[in-house]
Amino acid sequence: MLKYVLRRLIQAIPAFAGITLLSYFLMTAAPGGPESILLGDPRVTAQQRQLLAQRLGVTDPWPIQYVRWLIGNDWQQFDMDGDGIADEPGQRKGILRGDFGYSLFSKRPVIDLISDRIPATLELGVAALFTSVFLGVGTGIVAAVRHGHLFDNASRVVAVILNAVPGFWLGLVLILVVGPFLNQNFGDSIGRCPTPQTAEQIRAGCPPVYNRLHLIVLPTLVLAAGGIAVFSRFMRASMLDVIHQDYVRTAQAKGLSPRTIWFRHGARNALIPIATFVGPAIAGLLGGAPITERIFSWPGLGQLSVNAVFQQDYPVVMAVVIIASIGTILGFILSDILYAVIDPRIRFN
């Protein structure tokens, strides 16, 4: 399996290169650009404008700008203040070496901004993925076993509703309906961390996850709603096909308990098609996170990307695009690995 994973990672390099090339081309082709933000300031002198344009390289053709953004320009020297001494901020190592440049809005390194937001995004993303798989798969199994009964019919209606309701509307409804209960019992209903009340709480920072579960429940449900609907419907269809197989009837004839038949023999084989949706589910969580984080004031990459788009902070936007593409590629590789974990007949050699 290790050789297979390494081979897939090598095969993903051309796809990653194509994503970076297309993303950078679209950014340069978009109206405006990073230079319009910096060079449009009336307080900037003509000399400063020329030095800023030289630093950004906006006068070069976009293929040259792309190569510089990809592999860096630390072999070049820039004199930003005109004192004859090369300035360090003009040097870039490129995204391949983990340098995404500086934010045009906050003037901080982009990698620092992302590092501050990644823990919040991972908390919400992992919780939503686990919730969607656990509830979706479990609901699909029970709906297939109780085919034609009340639970089956109710689960289909709920799945259609969850798949049709927009995430922003569901989030606002939960805040209005459940939010007052949370405010009454916990003091907060949105945000990642509780509002500090004392100087000691301010120094301690954000408490551990198990001390703020009431804050992560609502955004997790909103972000996982679509996944629950998809997983439950596909698991139900796959389980209905499995329970009519010969080996299931053989297990029933041997007198095995229904729980052993449905969950040990039936569910494992029914999970094989579900592994196909794990990769797209990760990409879907990244795509839906900006709306959810915006509604619940969750300080993750999604909210950072939305703010960067409104501010035309292109280095931050490109960094988020690259991280999302890497997550999508790894998600599809994970789907292939799950095939071998679930189905022992599949071998990668």
Cβ count within 10 A of residue 109: 16
Q: Which amino acid is at 43?
A: R
**287 or 247, greater pLDDT:** 247
Average pLDDT over residues 206-215: 82
264-311 pLDDT per residue, tens: 777 877 887 777 777 777 776 666 688 888 888 888 888 888 888 887
Q: Helices (DSSP H) in 57-109: which residue ranges? A: 62-71
Residue 45, Cβ neighbours under 10 Å: how many?
8
pLDDT value of residue 89? 45
Q: Residue 54's pLDDT is what?
A: 66
Closest CA to 125 of 285, 320, 342: 285
- Interval 209-237 mean pLDDT: 88
Host H or E run for residue 152: helix 150-164
**DSSP line for 108-146:** SBHHHHHHHHHHHHHHHHHHHHHHHHHHHHHHHHHHHHT
The answer, yes or no, to whether residue 12 has pLDDT greater than 70, is yes
* Of the listed ranges 128-142, 196-210, 215-229, 300-314, the one predicted with least confidence: 196-210
What domains, with CATH codes, occur in the chain? 20-97 (no CATH), 110-342 (1.10.3720.10)
pLDDT tens-digit readout, 35-58: 566 555 566 666 766 666 666 666
The pLDDT score that the predictor gives to residue 315 is 84
Q: How far apart are CA 120 and CA 1, in angstroms?
A: 32
Does 8 have pLDDT greater than 70?
yes
Q: Give every CB contact of residue 147 below 8 A, 6+ residues apart in sequence.
A: 240
Interacting residues of 289 by C-beta distance below 8 A, sequence separation 6+ = 121, 124, 125, 223, 300, 301, 302
CB atoms within 10 A of CB 124: 26
pLDDT reading at 90 higher than 70: no
Q: Which range is most confident: 72-86, 149-163, 200-214, 249-263?
A: 149-163
What share of the chain has pLDDT > 90, as a percent? 5
**Nearest CA among 110, 71, 105, 75 for reference residue 90:** 75
Q: What gap in Å lies between CA 331 and CA 16, rounded to an integer?
A: 13
Most confident segment among 69-78, 82-91, 115-124, 329-338: 115-124
Global pTM reads 0.79
Sorted by sequence, the CB contacts under 8 Å of residue 232 that are 6+ apart come out as 135, 136, 137, 139, 140, 143, 155, 159
Listed range (115-119, 123-127, 232-236, 332-336) with the worst mean pLDDT: 332-336
**Quick one: average pLDDT of 315-321?**
86
| pLDDT number for residue 154 | 92
